[in-house]
Structure formats: structure tokens, C-alpha cells
């Protein structure tokens, strides 16, 4: 299960993802992200992965696409940092 929240900050929008980025939840996160990108510049979106506990292949593909679009990321822990490194090399 994944939880997605949006926090409007002064200079950016923070898309906070918590839980498992896997299965059909990837589609929910993607839809949420696309809604934000339709209304904000890509450079003003920060993807917060500090609460992510698992990412499957579909989640990795979504993160790679977000990276290709120029979004910024924040992550903590070995898992999410390793995944971000992997998807940034794929982009």
C-alpha cells in the first residue's frame, strides 16, 4: 500500500510517497504526479521518497521517468538511495 500527499511550499510542490511503490499503486502515484506536472513546472516538483519501504520494477520505471523529466528527489536510507542511483543511470 502506498500513500501519496502533496505539500505546496513557497518555491515548489513536494510529492511525498510513503510505503510500497509497487503493483497497481504505481499507477496511482503516476496519476498523482501527472496531475501535478500538468499545473506546475517540472523544476518546481520535489519527489520525497524518505518514507518509501519497497520499490518494484514498475516503481523503478516510474522513478526513471520522473528523473528524465527533471524532477528533484530526496531520499534516505540505503534502499531508496540505491534505487535513485540505478534509475539515474538508466535515464
Q: How far apart are CA 10 and CA 23, in angstroms?
A: 33
Computed over every residue of the chain, the mean pLDDT equals 90
DSSP code of residue 42:
G
Question: Count of CB atoms within 10 A of residue 43's CB?
Answer: 12
Q: Which domain holds residue 49?
A: 2-90
Residue 40 maps to which CATH number?
A: 3.30.750.24
What pLDDT does 77 receive? Answer: 87
Q: Give the pLDDT of residue 10.
A: 79
Summarize pLDDT for 20-78 with one digit per residue, the tens: 999 999 999 999 999 988 887 655 899 999 999 999 999 999 999 999 988 899 998 88
Q: State percent of the chain over pLDDT 90.
A: 63
What total of structural domains would you count in the chain?
1
Give the distance, in angstroms, between the CA of residue 6 and the centroid of all CA atoms in the same chain.
Answer: 11
Give the tens place of pLDDT for each residue, 4-22.
999 988 788 999 999 999 9
Residue written as cell 502533496? 6
Q: Can you tell me the mean pLDDT for 84-88?
A: 89
pLDDT of residue 43: 58
Phi-psi region of 37 (alpha: psi -120 to 50; beta: other; left: phi over 0): alpha
Amino acid at each position: 500500500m502506498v500513500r501519496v500527499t502533496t505539500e505546496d511550499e513557497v518555491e515548489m510542490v513536494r510529492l511525498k510517497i510513503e510505503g510500497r511503490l509497487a503493483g497497481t499503486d504505481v499507477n496511482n502515484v503516476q496519476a498523482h504526479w501527472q496531475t501535478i506536472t500538468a499545473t506546475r513546472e517540472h523544476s518546481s516538483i520535489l519527489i520525497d521518497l524518505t518514507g518509501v519501504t519497497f520499490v518494484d520494477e514498475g516503481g523503478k520505471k516510474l522513478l526513471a521517468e520522473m528523473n528524465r523529466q527533471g524532477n528533484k528527489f530526496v531520499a534516505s536510507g540505503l534502499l531508496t538511495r540505491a534505487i535513485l542511483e540505478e534509475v539515474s543511470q538508466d535515464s
